[in-house]
Structure 1
Amino acid sequence: MEQVAAGAVPHFEVSSGSAGSDAAFAAFAQSVEDVFAIARTGTDDYRLELRAWHLGTLMLGSFDSSSLSFERAPALVARSGLDHLLVQLYEAGGFQGTAGEYPIEVAPGDIVVFDLASTLHTQASDFRNLSFLIPRAFFESHLDDPGALHGIVLRPDMPLAGILASYFRALVERVPALQADEAIAAAKATAALATTVLCTYAQADRRTSQPILSPFRAIAQTLEAGLHDPELDAEQVAARLGMSRATLYRVFEPVGGVAGYIRRRRLSRAALALAAPENARRKIAEISYENGFASEATFARIFRATFGLSPRAARERSAALWTLPQAAGGAPADPPEFARWMRTLRA
C-alpha cells in the first residue's frame, strides 16, 4: 500500500490553463494509460482541469474536460495489472458506448461503474465527473460476482444513489485538508458506503432478471480453490458439492456459464500474477500451471486469443512502471508516478 505523506494527501494536478492544451492532454493520457486509451474528439483547443488524490486504499479525482473517447481493449486489460472497479459520478455532460457487450448511456447526475477486468468503449461530450478507483476486494464481501457491476448506471432519482452522490461531492471538497490518518479513515468509509449502495442496486441490474443468490458463493469458493487443477470442470464441481449439473448450470447462467467463469477467473489471476513485481523472476510456465492450464503453450494460445498479446509481452509492458521513482513528501506527483499509484493500490 502506498504510504500517505505526513500532513498531506499525495495528489496530482493538471491544468490546460497553465500547461497548455497539448501538454495537458499528454499528461492526462499518460497518467491514465493503465485504465484507458483516450483520444481527443473535438476541434477546439483541449481544456482540462484535473485534481486527484491517493488515500492509501483508494484513489479519487475531479475531472473537467473537453470531449474525449475512452477505450479499454482486451490487451490493456491483460497488461495493466489492475483488479479494481471504477466508480464515476457525472456532474455535467455524459457519454454513450459499450461496457463489455452491453450498450451504456450516462447523463448528468448518473453514477456509473466499470469493472477494469472487462472492456469498454465510450464517447464523452464535454464533461465534469468525480471518479473513484476501488480495489475489487472491497466488493467481494458484499457481492458474489463484482463483475456484475460492470456498466451498471444509477440514476439520480434513486434514493441511495443520491446519498452516495452527495457524499462523493463532500469528500472531494474536503480531501485537500485531510491529514494522513484522516485520509486512511476516509478511504475505508468511502469504500464501505460505495460497496453497500452499489451492491444493493446490483440486484436490480438491467442485465439479469434474477439476482445471483446462494449457492453461488459456495460454488465459487469451491471453484477458486480448484482453479489450479486443469481437470476442474462442471461435472467435478457438481460431484464435490452433491448437486446436479443442471442445478450448477442454472446457478451460473447469469455469469456466462461454469466453463466460461472458470476460464475468466484463470486468465484474470494469471494476468495479475504476470503484472505483479514480486513475480518478475518466476517462469511464465509456473504461473500458467498454478492457474490450471495444462501446458504453457495452451496458456499462451488462450491468453493471446483473449487479450491480443502474449503472456511475455503483457509482462514486459507492465514491468516499466515498477522502476519509476516515487514522488517525495507532499509534492504533486508527475504522470508516471500517478499511474504507478494505481498499480500499487490494494485493499
Structure 2
Amino acid sequence: MLAPGIVHSSFSVRGDASHSLLAWQERMSPVYDIRPAQAHGEETFDASMSRYSIDDLSFFDIRTGPNVAERSLARVSTENIRDITFSLFLEGAPAQFLGGKQGLEAPRNPGVPSLLALDMDQPCTIRSFHGRMLLFFVPRVLVEAAFPDAASLHGRMVEATTPLMRVLISHLVALNRQIVGLGKDEADRSFRTAIDLLAAVFGRQAGLSGNARAAVRAAVYGQVRRYVEANLHDPGLSPESVLQSLHLSRASVYRLFLHEGGLAAYIRSRRLRAAADELVRFPDLAVQDIASGLGFNNASSFTRAFRRAYDIAPQALHGYAPLLRREAGQNRHASWPAAAWR
C-alpha cells in the first residue's frame, strides 16, 4: 500500500511485436514518438513501466526492448513539456543519444551504470536496447535552482566512476525500492535530495561546483547565458559584444562553453532554437524576416545552419506550422494529455 498522496500506475506489453510495439507506441506517445530500432524490427517486443508521482515529481522503473524514441523539433516547438529528465541505466547497454553535441561522448565502460540527462524542450533521438532504467522527470525550475543552465545538460552522460556518482545511484535505487514504505513527505524529501545529488554530479562534470573557483565559474556562466538570452534579437550580439559588455576575458568564457564548441557556437545554437519556435508561432511572418530578426542576414547560410541543426529546412517547418499548431491544440484537449504521462 502506498501512502496517500503518492500515485502509482503500471503498464506492460509482451509478445508479438506487431501488437505489443504498437501498444507501447501509444503509451509513450504523449512524450515520445517510438519506432523500431531496425528497419524490419524484431518479431517480439517486451516492455514495462511502473510510475510513481508525488505532486509535480515523477519517476519510472522501465524495462524495454530495442526501440528508437524521438522528440522532433516540430513537437518540442508546439508542446509545453520543459522538464529535465535523468535516465539511470541499471541493466543492459545504456541508450545512445543520437545527434549529440561535439565533445559529449558515450560511456566507455558498458558494464558500468551510467546517467543521461535530457532537456524535454530540445529535440532528441534516443536509441534504446534490451535493459532496465530508472527515469526521473524533474521540473525545470528545480534543476535551474541548483544548475545555472539546465539546457546545457541536454545529452550529457556520466558514469558511476566517482564516489559521488555511486552515492547518487544508491540513493535513486533505494528510493525506487523503498517508496512503498515511505510517507508522502518522506518520499518527497528523498526525491528532492536526489535532485540535489543529480545537480552536484553534473555540476562537477561541468566544472561548476566543488569550490570557490567553481562557484565563480558558475556565476559567470549564468551571467553570460542570461545576457545571450536577453539579446538574441540584437543584430550586434556576438562573442565580442558579450565580452565587452560583461568585462570578461575570452579564454575564460571559451572554457565555460567548450562543450558547445565555444561562445559563438552557443549563440548560434540559441538563435536557431529561437528561430524554430518563431517559425511555428508566427506562420504569417516571412521566413527571412524571422531569420534576420535573429541575426541571420544571409538566407542561404541560415537555411544550411538550420538544416544541419534540425535535419529540416526552415521553410518546411514554417509551412507545417498551421498543422502543427492545430494538432497541438487537439492534443491539449485529448482525454490523455502529455502531463498525465508524467
Same fold per TM (> 0.5)?
yes
| Structure-to-structure mapping, 1:232-247, within 5 angstroms | 232-243=237-248
**Corresponding residue to 2:114 among 86, 111, 114:** 111
Matched, 1:310 2:317: yes
> Residue 161 of structure 1: SS of its match in structure 2?
helix
Matched, 1:56 2:60: no
Aligned alpha-carbon RMSD (Å): 4.3
In 1, the alpha carbon distance for the partners of 2:250 and 2:242 equals 9
How far does residue 174 in structure 1 lie from its aligned partner after superposition? 3.3
> Residue 173 of structure 2: SS of its match in structure 1?
helix
In 2, the alpha carbon distance for the partners of 1:196 and 1:244 equals 26
In 1, the alpha carbon distance for the partners of 2:190 and 2:317 equals 39
What are the Cα deviations for residues 122-181 of structure 1, in whole angstroms up to 9, with x where unaligned? 251x21111112234333344444455444443334222221112112222233566655
**Greater shift after overlay, 167-176 or 19-28?**
19-28
Matched, 1:131 2:128: no
What are the Cα deviations for residues 290-344 of structure 1, in whole angstroms up to 9, with x where unaligned? x95369x97x96767643252515544433321123xxxxxxxxxx44x3346xx
In the alignment, which residue of structure 1 is the partner of 2:26? Answer: 30
Uncovered stretches (5+) of structure 2, i.e. residues with no partner: 209-213
| Structure-to-structure mapping, 1:67-86, within 5 angstroms | 67-86=66-85
In the alignment, which residue of structure 2 is the partner of 1:154? Answer: 158
> Residue 310 of structure 1: SS of its match in structure 2?
helix
Letter in 2 for 1:43: E
| Structure-to-structure mapping, 1:1-347, within 5 angstroms | 7-16=4-13, 22-33=18-29, 34-39=31-36, 43-95=42-94, 97-99=96-98, 100-101=100-101, 102-105=104-107, 107-116=110-119, 117-124=122-129, 126-176=130-180, 184-203=188-207, 213=217, 215-243=220-248, 248-249=253-254, 251-268=256-273, 293=294, 306-307=309-310, 308=312, 309-311=316-318, 312=321, 314-325=324-335, 336-337=336-337, 339-341=338-340
**Matched-pair contact (CA < 8 Å) for 1:152–1:202:** no
What are the Cα deviations for residues 62-84 of structure 1, in whole angstroms up to 9, with x where unaligned? 11222333445555554554433
Letter in 1 for 2:106: I
How far does residue 48 in structure 1 lie from its aligned partner after superposition? 1.8
How far does residue 194 in structure 1 lie from its aligned partner after superposition? 1.9
Letter in 2 for 1:39: P
> Residue 264 of structure 1: SS of its match in structure 2?
helix
Uncovered stretches (5+) of structure 1, i.e. residues with no partner: 1-5, 205-209, 326-335
Tell me which of the two structures has the higher relative contact order, counting C-alpha pairs closer than 8 angstroms and 6 or more residues apart.
1
Instruction: Return the TM-score normalized by structure 1.
Output: 0.70
How far does residue 108 in structure 1 lie from its aligned partner after superposition? 4.7
